[in-house]
């Protein structure tokens, strides 16, 4: 075994070099994980909020369309009623 012939200082150097490489690779793995997690999480959030706001705006548009249609129909019915009243009144005068 090559390590058996090393001096204690060299053994510590090998140990700390191995520990340093392990910590470095663990740091790289953690950084990679954080980067990938952040990318996927931000993509998920963007997709979620895009879908949420699209659905919300679609719902607002549906409600607004229904409200406009209801009020336009009501206004047209009112106008038709007043027109009938005016025509009947004019017909009675003639």
pLDDT of the residue at 43: 93
State how many domains the chain has. Answer: 1
pLDDT of the residue at 53: 92
Place of tokens 């336009």: 72
User: Would you say residue 81 lies in a domain?
Assistant: yes
The contacts of residue 11 (CB under 8 Å, 6+ apart) are: 3
User: Would you say residue 32 lies in a domain?
Assistant: yes
Report pTM: 0.43
Domain that includes residue 70, residue range: 8-93
pLDDT of the residue at 51: 93
pLDDT of the residue at 75: 82
User: Would you say residue 28 lies in a domain?
Assistant: yes
User: Would you say residue 85 lies in a domain?
Assistant: yes
Q: How confident is the model at residue 76 (pLDDT cuts 50, 70, 90)?
A: confident
* pLDDT tens column, 6-55: 677 777 788 888 898 889 899 999 999 999 999 999 999 999 999 999 99
User: Would you say residue 1 lies in a domain?
Assistant: no
User: Would you say residue 80 lies in a domain?
Assistant: yes
Query: Helix count (H) and strand count (E) of the chain?
Result: 1, 0
pLDDT of the residue at 52: 92
User: Would you say residue 3 lies in a domain?
Assistant: no
């Amino acid at each position: 075994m090559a390590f058996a012939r090393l001096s204690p200082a060299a053994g510590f150097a090998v140990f700390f070099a191995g520990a340093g490489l392990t910590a470095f690779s663990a740091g790289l793995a953690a950084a990679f994980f954080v980067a990938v997690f952040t990318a996927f999480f931000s993509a998920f959030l963007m997709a979620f909020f895009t879908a949420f706001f699209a659905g919300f705006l679609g719902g607002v548009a549906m409600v607004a369309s229904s409200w406009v249609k209801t009020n336009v129909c009501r206004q047209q019915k009112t106008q038709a009623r007043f027109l009938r009243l005016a025509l009947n009144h004019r017909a009675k005068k003639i």
